[in-house]
Amino acid sequence: MICRRIVVAAFLSSTLALPVAAQSTVDVAKLPVNLERIQRQLQQPTVREERDGLNLRYMVDVYGRAPRIELFTKQDNLETGPVPYGAPTHRDMIQAVTPQEFRAPAADFGALFRWLADKAKDKK
């Protein structure tokens, strides 16, 4: 917790030590920073420690803004297109669970039919 306060203090002091020209272009009232809230959060202990024999567990609360989740974008074609990365088809599952040596038919049916066709031609 002390390290966290030191890091925050160093960050604030480095941002406050900017040149005057850079500070005049920034409107502090429009920044999404609430200093009272930051000070209140720093006063609360957010690091918890639990000890159970040799099992040490440290929990630290991190506050931040989550990114926006977009479920449907303009690239998604929900009316007529297939779903990308959807469920596997029957063929995909058969290829995934069947070894390569058992995927081919046991006999070469093309050669068998060709042999039968040749035999039928010879008898005519």
Q: Which two tokens stand for residue 112?
A: 């068998």
Average pLDDT in the chain: 75
pLDDT of residue 92 exceeding 80, the answer is yes
pLDDT digits (tens, 9 = 90+) for 34-47: 778 877 877 776 66
Query: CA-to-CA distance for 34 and 72, rounded, in angstroms?
Result: 33
Q: Where are the domains of the chain?
A: 1-65
pLDDT of residue 16 exceeding 70, the answer is no
Tell me the CB-side half-sphere exposure of residue 19, using CA atoms within 13 A.
2
| pTM metric for this prediction | 0.22
Query: CA-to-CA distance for 15 and 17, rounded, in angstroms?
Result: 5
With CA atoms as reference, report the closest residue to 1 among 37, 35, 48.
48
pLDDT digits (tens, 9 = 90+) for 27-83: 767 777 777 887 787 777 666 777 777 777 777 777 778 888 888 888 877 777 766
Query: CA-to-CA distance for 58 and 1, rounded, in angstroms?
Result: 12
Beta bridge partners of 50: 57
CA triplet 106, 107, 111: central angle to 5 degrees? 160
Highest mean predicted confidence (pLDDT) among 10-14, 24-28, 117-121: 117-121
Residue by residue, DSSP assigns 51-95 as EETTEEEEEE----PPPPP-SS-TT--TTTSPPTT----HHHHHH
